[in-house]
Structure 1
Amino acid sequence: MALLLRVVLASFVTLSLSVAANADLSNQMKVDQSFEAVKEAVQNAGLTEIIQIDHARLAAAENVEMPPSRVQLFSDPGLNAEIMKHEIRAGLDLPFRALSFDEAGALSLLYTSSDFLAKRHGITDAPLLAKMDDHLVAVFEQVPDLSAQKVESTRVDKDFAVLELRSQYGVAETVARLKETITAQSDTIWFGEIDFQSEAKAFGVELVPAQLLLFGGPAPGGVAMAEFPAIGLDAFCQKLLVYEGDDGKARVLFNDIAAFADLHYQRAIEPHAMLNKRLTATFKGAIE
């Protein structure tokens, strides 16, 4: 009888693990399908693909488990130039991005709307904001079954969750130093950079030197996102906006991870604060 009980229990455990594995696979497939549908919609809308990042698979390669999550960045460089001419610091929230992810077993699709951009950066140009939303509608109306949701912005105000450092160098030197320091981190992947000033020139718009640096840490990012997958919209790919201040020296802006966790989930955990401290110390070491 005892042997039979052990066999039954073992079979139950095996079945439970199999069901859980199949559920994980199903959730991953849903996220992958959502991601691909949005990617096709972006292409159909005539927008420029920038980068796509598979948070969960990158984390899994570092033996860190987290829910399925994939983010894609896409762009209208001409609109970026118009927005940044109005407010250079808005480059921290450009280009467009959409996050397909598993939230407690359910598929979610999240994006940042013009309302968030307007509140965070004090942009009041209504036609400009409407143009941004027109692009987003052109993408997400192609995938109505995915029920894309805007980032909640009622608690967002000017400079919400913006961490800022001042460099003692100009933009070019600051970017070079930051890139060298970031790529020296053994647990970090460099995804690339966007030169907003150069892009703007192609549209006849003059901007001060401004670049967006894109990188991520799959292992620490996976830990931070495990219970907070929605923060993958604004972190891991971590974004650094480097632009020229009035004194000719660079300003460096990046996102407060703990604040975004609190925005999405009304709470944050120690790994979020630790990552904020690590990133701040790393960037300071490069530019001060």
Structure 2
Amino acid sequence: MPSPHPSRKRRFFTVLMLGLLVLALAACEWTDLVDGDDDEDDGGSDNTPPATETNVPGLSVAVSSSDFDTTLAAITSRTSDRNIATVDHQANAQQAGRSLRPTTTVLFDDPNRSSPLIAADPRAGLDLPTRVLVYRDSDSDVAAAYTNAAYLDARYDLDDAEGGALDGLDADLEALVGDATGDDPGDGPASGIGEGEGIESVTSDNSFADTVDALLAAIDARSDRLGSPTTVNQQTRANSVGRMLDPSTLVLFTVAEEDSALLRASQTSGVDLPQKMLVSADSSGAVTVYYNDPSFIAARHDIDGRDDDIDALADLLADLASEAAGSSTATATPNTPDTDDDTEAGLASP
């Protein structure tokens, strides 16, 4: 019997290989191949809730009718005159050797809205300037999310804030995200959030200016691990619109390895990233360094299995605060929740 023609052998081999490829793809999660959200390399799990079912305390979420790039462009174009920084978490994760679905935080500020809130409670500077998170979830839905007024009101003592400042900020965000997505972002109640919860503080032995300089030097000394900082002089921004504010400077910086671990566990944590440290002085001149406890952020976003990363972040932030405060033995003091209820450099990756 004559052997098959060589061209038939090639066709048979091609069909066989295509069939094997189809079987291989069927055995895998297609979204994992496209978005790279397999967490086996670091032992964690992706707890990012579907955008349509997100229930993070104090987070208002809208599902976009557009794709990721279009939604992000809509947010950035509407806030370009107030932009502080745009943080591409996916790019930062890639630099850390990790994969992440598209996830970007846009930070912007209207001092007419933020200054009265910081004046009422300087700690509010940790959650201001305003941030909008744009991300694509595992169902390929695109969402835009922000920390809302209910959260700010629960976490800070804003009783003495200028009337209408908090509601005005919330209305601005609702309109911005609604216009960009074509969806109502909803209320996002701040269930379980107490006043001062998750905020660590260290009293500084240095002046305000020296504390800021020491903090920036401490970050720069770790440039192999930390991204270049962005500083937001909140007092200067307030003064620019004729408002008075005690000295207050927020310093933002990326920690690509640990930030990416949190984001891979839950993309919504991007609304609380990058890392932030606030240096604030009161009317008597007393200077305090504030920062978010990473375990609080993890709890807010239902992050499990990242204890090593959370501990590493907690140690890092405590060391930075101590160095900024002028004492290597300074101890962070957690704020006890109330149970009764302007040189701005672009953020960069290491």
Q: TM-score by structure 2 length?
A: 0.71
Cα–Cα, structure 1 residues 223 and 189, in superposed 2: closer, same or farther, change >3 Å?
A: same
1:87 alignment partner, one of 99, 116, 121: 121
Using the TM superposition, give the Cα deviation of residue 99 of structure 1 relative to its aligned residue in structure 2, in angstroms: 0.4
Greater mean deviation of Cα atoms: 276-285 or 163-172: 276-285
* Match in the other structure for 2:96: 62
1:276 matched to 2:314 = yes
Once the two structures are TM-superposed, the CA of residue 149 in structure 1 deviates from its matched residue by 5.6
Specify whether residues 8 and 203 from structure 1 end up closer, same or farther in structure 2 by C-alpha distance, changes over 3 A only: closer
Offset at residue 33 of structure 1 (A): 2.6
Between 55-64 and 200-209, report the one with greater CA deviation.
200-209
Q: What's the counterpart of residue 235 of structure 2? A: 197
Task: Kindly indicate whether the alpha-carbon contact (under 8 Å) linking 2:105 and 2:132 is maintained by their aligned counterparts in 1.
Answer: yes
1:130 corresponds to which residue?
Answer: 167
Query: Structure 1, residues 99-155: CA drift from partner, whole Å, max 9, x if none?
Result: 011333332221011111111112134522122122213312312435546654111
Q: Does 1:39 align with 2:76?
A: yes
Q: CA deviation at 1:82?
A: 1.9
From 12, 24, 45, the counterpart of 2:23: 12
**265-274 or 192-201, which moves further after superposition?**
265-274
The one of 220, 223, 233 equivalent to 1:183 is 220
- 1:110 paired residue number: 145
Which region of structure 1 is more displaced relative to structure 2, 189-198 or 34-43?
34-43
Separation of aligned partners in 1, 2:225 and 2:295 = 20
Q: 1:12 to 1:170 in 2, by over 3 A?
A: same
More strand as a share of residues = 1
- Distance in 2, matches of 1:65 and 1:149, equals 30
- Following superposition of structure 1 onto structure 2, how do residues 86-235 of structure 1 map, counting pairs within 5 Å? 86-105=120-139, 106-124=141-159, 125=161, 126-148=163-185, 152-185=189-222, 186-235=224-273
- The amino acid that maps onto 1:165 is V
Contact 1:155 1:263 in 2 (8 A): no
Q: For residues 188 and 150 of structure 1, do their structure 2 counterparts lie closer, same or farther at Cα, with a shift above 3 Å needed?
A: farther
Query: Which residue in the other structure is 2:40 paired with?
Result: none
What percent identity do the matched residue pairs reach? 22
The structure where helix makes up a greater share of residues is 1
Q: Structure 1's 266 and 275: CA in aligned 2 closer, same or farther, altered over 3 A?
A: closer
Deviation string, structure 1 residues 223-247 (Cα, Å, up to 9, x no partner): 2221121111112x11111001455
| Alignment partners' CA distance in 2, 1:14 and 1:80 | 50
Aligned partner letter, 2:269:
I
- Residues 245/82 of structure 1: CA separation in 2 closer, same or farther (3 Å cut): closer
Which amino acid is 1:115 matched to? A
Residue 73 of structure 1, CA deviation: 0.6
CA distance in 2, matches of 1:78, 1:150: 23
Structure 1 residues not aligned, in runs of 5+ = none
Matches of 1:261 and 1:151 in 2, distance apart? 18
CA distance in 1, matches of 2:85, 2:105: 8
Residues 199 and 293 in structure 2, CA contact (< 8 A), matched pair in contact too = yes
**Contact 1:52 1:73 (8 Å CA) reproduced:** yes
CA distance in 1, matches of 2:187, 2:89: 20
Identify if the C-alpha distance between structure 1 residues 178 and 54 changes in structure 2 by more than 3 Å, giving closer, same or farther. Answer: same
Distance between the aligned counterparts of 1:190 and 1:94, measured in 2? 19
| Secondary structure at 1:143 match in 2 | helix
Matched residues in 2 for 1:61 and 1:8: separation?
Answer: 35
Contact kept? 2:233, 2:249, Cα under 8 Å: yes
1: CA distance, partners of 2:98 / 2:124: 32
Unaligned runs of 5+ in 2: 1-12, 37-65, 328-350
Question: Secondary structure at 2:191's aligned position in 1?
Answer: coil
Aligned position for 1:241: 278
136-145 vs 86-95, which deviates more? 136-145
TM-score w.r.t. the length of structure 1 is: 0.85
Aligned residue identity for 2:200: L
Bigger RCO of structures 1 and 2 (CA < 8 A, at least 6 apart): 2
Secondary structure of 2:193 counterpart:
coil
Amino acid at match of 2:323: G
Q: Distance in 2 between matches of 1:21 and 1:264?
A: 21
CA contact (8 A) 1:258 1:269 kept: no
Give 3-state SS (helix, strand or coil) of 1:111's partner. strand
Deviation digits for residues 248-276 of structure 1 (CA, Å, limit 9, x no counterpart): 23211111222122112275630223311
Residues 131-140 or 221-230, more deviating: 131-140
Cα separation, 2, equivalents of 1:64 and 1:23: 14
Deviates more, 1:4-13 or 1:191-200: 4-13
Q: Is the 8 A contact 1:258 1:268 kept in 2?
A: no
